[in-house]
Each structure stands twice: as structure tokens, then as C-alpha cells.
Amino acid sequence: MRAPPPGPDLPRPLFLYHWFYRTYPFLEECAQRYGEAFTIRIPGMRQAVVMHHPDAIKEVITASPDDAHAGKLSTNMAPLLGKHSLLLLDGAEHLRQRKLLLPPLHGERMNAYGARIAEITESSLDRWPVGREFPVHERFQAITLDVILRVVFGLDDPSLLEVVRARLLRLLDVGSNPWLLVPALQRDLGAWSPWGKFVRAIRDADELLYAEIGRRRAQGKSERDDVLTLLLQARDEQGQGMTDKELRDELTTLLVTGNETTATSLAWALRWILATPAVHERLQQELAEGDASPERLVKLPYLDATVREVLRMQPVFPLIGRVVQRPLRIGGLDFEEGDGVILAFYLTHRRPELYSEPRRFHPERFLERKYGPTEWLPFGGGARRCIGMALALYEMKIVLGTVLSRASLRLARDRVREVRRSLTIAPSEGLPVILERRRQRGPRPGASN
């Protein structure tokens, strides 16, 4: 780009600090100062222009996948996710993997997972302490991890579940350091170095993942309905299935992107609900009008609107990017091959012409109008929209509905800050809450399934 728009001209260390640890306020400060588009320089790009107008977003997400690649921006995650991860792929290989992955994570398939998600949530809720504060984010992480282990991986043996859970928790904990995403710091200096710990955690997790893939292949065709079983049976247009390495990489991607992101969104949801009495009261009224079965929870209009408003206010991924592959005109700017374009939908979600009083938590706005794919996009858009969107929304509604139906909670802190946790931006201190009262489980149709 010969004449890029102005943007923050900061020393690299200072820029990375703002980018990693002050993401939301930094984006807002830049938008206020520079307007609809501003230029930044981040690792892996020659230069990148940040944009947030819906028209510019439409031009990018509807562009040919051959004209703007997304996978190139995630190459620093290859040591964790693997080179076959959907996030790292572009072109025909990305399209093939997406077609194989989509059916188990979309549409009517979700209904088969509801009872398990509800049971996992109920079991966790039974163990929450009463009368003292605790970080609820950790509890949501445990719930979403168990959903992945049982719904995605299909694990049901208690002893195996414990071993896999322990190794994957270590991997997620070690990998939560955002500086591990910086290629220059990806050096193994021994078992006690940050990258050394990470490499060994990956190795231990991979050992179990490959063993489970091998065991399930040896079982042959199965009537099970977990995601791993369905992926083992999936075939592309040439009749080819995924290799063990491809399966490992996609399972790891679902683990990393599906566990922390959904848990963080649930924590933010509870924060906003408990801090907004009118919303809390209306949710309680809606939930009290019937049972807490998964089939009912996922259809509740105000619960759905609340989840969507949470994701508008606190998108755990506040932006997405592309690397331009040929000269393109986007948002009135001429991009050249190698230029980057970043869509900051966190800023889109705060445009007052789209969302009146954008800083107000107001789920009713999603009952009053339908927002288009370039106006509400916490999961990205176009051919790169998050493959787990349907499962994430489904899971959030069941977990939130189950918790709010049984638990009387209040925030333990008046002020909640935003803190960086690896890929996501989470509530500070794990969102301390106090469980004042826990109601007994009620009858739930389908609980034995």
C-alpha cells in the first residue's frame, strides 16, 4: 500500500504491550483518533490496516478465499495446533477440511449433545461452594473441558477421562501465556523454560490423543454420535478420510478454541447478568415458566438475546485478519499483495448507528431487530466463520440456563477488569462470585440419554 492511513507509531515492545494487554481500550483509542481505518505493524505482516465499517467487512468476508488468506496469520500457532489445523489452512485444503468438520458441529446434530451438556453442568454445580467466594471462570473451564472430552472426543471411561483431563489441563495452562505466540520466544531451553514446558505438555497430550484415535479406528464402524466418531467416518469428494495427524490437529484446535473461548464467554455472561438486575430478573422469569430441559432452554428468546448481547459486548476474539494475495480495493483503499487487513468487529459492535447506547448491556436489542452478518460477528464471517459457532451458542444457552435455574449468585467484586489469557480476554481474578443458595435438581426430560 503506497499511501496507508495513519496509525499509532509506537516502539515494537510498547505496541505489543497495548496489543496484548490493552486490546479493547487500545482499539477504541485508535478508532477515536484515526477514524474508520488505521495502520498498525504486527509480527507476520508487512503492514496491516484495521477497519470496522460494515461495508468494509462485507468486502473482505465475501472476497474470494484465493484473494485474501487467513491461515497465514495463525502460523505462530502451528506448534500447538499443528499444520493441518483449520485455522492455519487456506485455499482448497481449507475448504476440504471445513466440509469434513462441519456436519458433526451443525444443525440437528446439536440435539444429540444437549442432555450430556446439561448433566455435566448439573454435576459441576453440585460441587460449587455455598456462602464463600470462588472464581467461577475456573468452574466454567471445567464444564467446557468436560463437554469437549465427552461430546467431541467421546470419552466415557472414568479412569481414562481423568488422565486425559489432567494432561489437557496442563497443556491449556502452560499454553495460556500470550508471549508464547511470539515466534522469537519459541525456544526450548530445557524442561523449566516456558517453551520447554509447552513442548513437553504438547508431547504428553499428543501421546493420549493418538492412542485414542488408534483405539477408535481399531473398533471400526460405530453407532456412537460423538464428534470424533463422526470425523473418523467422514469422507471427502474423493472418498478419502482424515489421517491421524489431521484428526489430531483438528481435535486440538477444537479443544483450544472451544474450551477457553466458551468458558470465558460464560464468565462474561454471568458478570453482565449479575451486574444488571433488570436482565437477571427477566431471565429468571423466563426460566421459571417451564422446566430446564435442554430442548426448552435453547429455544428461550430472552436467553438467546442475552447470549448474543454478551458476545457483542465481550467478543473473546475482538478481531480477525487476512493477508491480501493480489491487488484489492477495500473500504476505498488500495491494497497490494502481502498487505494485511484486520477487521475489528469489537469496534463494529460499538457503532452507535447500529447499536444505540452501545456501552449498555441491553439484550432487548436482539428481540427488537435482526442484525446482519456484517453487524454482529463474534465468530467471524464468510468462509472463515468459526466452525464451532452452533455448538458454542447451544452450549452457552444450556449451561447458563441450567446455572441460573438452580443457583442464586452475586458478584463478589464491584469492579471487574479485562485481562489477557492467551487467545482470549477474560474477567479479572477469574470473576469471583458467591453462591448464596443452590436449589435441588428438578426433573429433566432426557437426562438418562
Q: Is 30 annotated as a binding residue?
A: no
H-helix or E-strand spanning residue 405: helix 389-406
Q: What is the DSSP string of 86-108?
A: GGG--HHHHHHHHHHHTGGGSGG
The widest CA-to-CA distance across the chain, in whole angstroms, is 65
Bridge partners of 330, per DSSP, are 333
Task: Report the chain's C-alpha Rg in angstroms.
Answer: 22
Please name the residue that has the C-alpha cell 493480489.
326
For the chain, the first-to-last Cα distance in angstroms comes to 57
**Cα–Cα distance for residue pair 72/85, rounded to 1 Å:** 12
- Angle between helix 301-313 and 277-288 (nearest 10): 150
Q: What are phi and psi of 424, to 5 degrees?
A: -120, 170
Side chain identity at residue 124, one-letter code: S
Tell me the CA distances in angstroms from 5 to 9, 29, 31, 106, 112, one per residue in order: 12, 16, 12, 40, 49
Burial of 141 (0-12, 13-18, 19+ CB in 10 A): buried
| Annotated binding-site members | 386
Q: Which residues are annotated as a binding site for heme?
A: 386
